[in-house]
């Protein structure tokens, strides 16, 4: 097994050097780095670049970030091989030396609040149906088995707060007429989470910017970011 390495810095030149090693057919094309918010925390030293207009390269320049990115590469390869009904990124290259992930770019827009707000009722219903279908397939116990085989048993997610804590702490921060609504939401969550159907594989960061909606085909084309 190769020793895991990562890029020295976030730059187009570093990306090109990585492509020369793990995807030489792509190293001569254009490389456009995507915007990145600088942070001193090496955990978030992960960036993306569009290569030749048709591929997305994801790379890391720290050990913690490389560990997370390699985890994502293994998960995507497992899903692509065993859960073909899921529209996840198509892995073109997955390298461990350096840690580097290239997926095929697809057309569409992030599933933002603005997009959903501007959609008509039929499209909103289609978006909901597509998302429900994706989650239904993702939560198939067989998917968890394939992921465990590829990367080991994933960490068990922990909620940021319990409904008991929300009931006790939100009172001073909401209007009296809103308190009943908070209580009803907490009751609904408790009821929804009460049944136990066994462990399943879940997406750790499933928000709109990690989904791409294809307007022409009216379907959720892809869900990205399986670092967590």
Do residues 211 and 159 both lie within one domain?
A: yes
Of 212, 5, 113, the C-alpha closest to 225 is 212
Q: Is residue 147 part of a domain?
A: yes
pLDDT in tens, 102-140: 999 988 888 899 988 998 898 899 889 989 999 999 999
Do residues 205 and 124 both lie within one domain?
A: yes
Do residues 100 and 18 both lie within one domain?
A: yes
Q: What share of the chain is helix, strand, coil (3-state, %, to 5)?
A: 45, 15, 40
Do residues 69 and 114 both lie within one domain?
A: no
Domain of residue 79 covers 12-104
What's the rounded Cα separation, in Å, for the pair 15 and 47?
Answer: 10
Do residues 201 and 115 both lie within one domain?
A: yes
What's the rounded Cα separation, in Å, for the pair 175 and 151?
Answer: 46
Question: What's the alpha-carbon Rg for the chain, to the nearest Å?
Answer: 20
Work out how many domains the chain is built from and give that number: 2
Please report the pLDDT score of residue 2 as a whole number.
60
pTM of the model: 0.82
Domain boundary among 62, 85, 104: 104
What's the rounded Cα separation, in Å, for the pair 2 and 204?
Answer: 28
Do residues 87 and 169 both lie within one domain?
A: no
Do residues 96 and 201 both lie within one domain?
A: no
What's the rounded Cα separation, in Å, for the pair 111 and 108?
Answer: 9
What's the rounded Cα separation, in Å, for the pair 19 and 50?
Answer: 12
Do residues 54 and 94 both lie within one domain?
A: yes
What's the rounded Cα separation, in Å, for the pair 136 and 131?
Answer: 9
pLDDT in tens, 53-86: 999 999 999 999 999 999 999 999 999 999 989 8
Which residue would you say has higher pLDDT here, 68 or 195? 68
Do residues 51 and 131 both lie within one domain?
A: no
E-strand ranges in 39-147 read: 46-51, 55-60, 91-96, 99-104, 109-110
Q: Is residue 78 part of a domain?
A: yes
Q: Within 10 A of 12 (CB to CB), how many other CB atoms are there? A: 13
Q: Within 10 A of 93 (CB to CB), how many other CB atoms are there? A: 17
Lowest-pLDDT range of 40-49, 142-151, 191-200: 191-200
Domain boundary among 56, 89, 104: 104
Do residues 115 and 219 both lie within one domain?
A: yes
| CB-based contact 46:58 (threshold 8 Å) | yes
Q: Kindly report the CATH number assigned to the domain that includes residue 79.
A: 3.30.200.20
Residue 5 has pLDDT above 80, yes or no: yes
Do residues 140 and 97 both lie within one domain?
A: no
Task: State the DSSP H helix or E strand holding residue 219, giving kind and residue range, or none if neither.
Answer: strand 219-223
């Amino acid at each position: 097994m190769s020793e895991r390495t990562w890029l020295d810095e976030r730059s187009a030149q570093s990306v090109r050097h990585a492509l020369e090693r793990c995807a030489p057919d792509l190293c001569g094309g254009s490389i456009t780095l995507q915007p990145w918010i600088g942070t001193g925390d090496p955990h978030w030293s992960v960036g993306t670049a569009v290569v030749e207009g048709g591929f997305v390269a994801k790379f890391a320049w720290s050990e913690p970030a490389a560990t997370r990115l390699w985890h994502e590469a293994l998960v995507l390869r497992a899903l692509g091989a065993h859960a073909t009904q899921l529209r996840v990124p198509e892995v073109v290259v997955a390298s461990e030396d350096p840690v580097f992930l290239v997926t095929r770019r697809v057309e569409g827009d992030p599933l933002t609040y603005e997009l959903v707000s501007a959609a008509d009722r039929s499209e909103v219903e289609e978006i909901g149906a597509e998302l429900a279908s994706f989650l239904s397939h993702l939560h198939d116990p067989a998917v968890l088995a394939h992921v465990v085989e590829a990367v080991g048993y994933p960490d068990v997610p922990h909620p940021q707060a319990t409904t008991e804590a929300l009931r006790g702490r939100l009172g001073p921060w909401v209007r009296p007429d809103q308190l009943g609504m908070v209580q009803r939401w907490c009751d609904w969550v408790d009821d929804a989470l009460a049944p136990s159907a066994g462990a399943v594989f879940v997406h750790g960061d499933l928000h709109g910017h990690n989904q791409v909606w294809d307007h022409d085909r009216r379907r959720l084309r892809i869900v990205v970011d399986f670092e967590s």
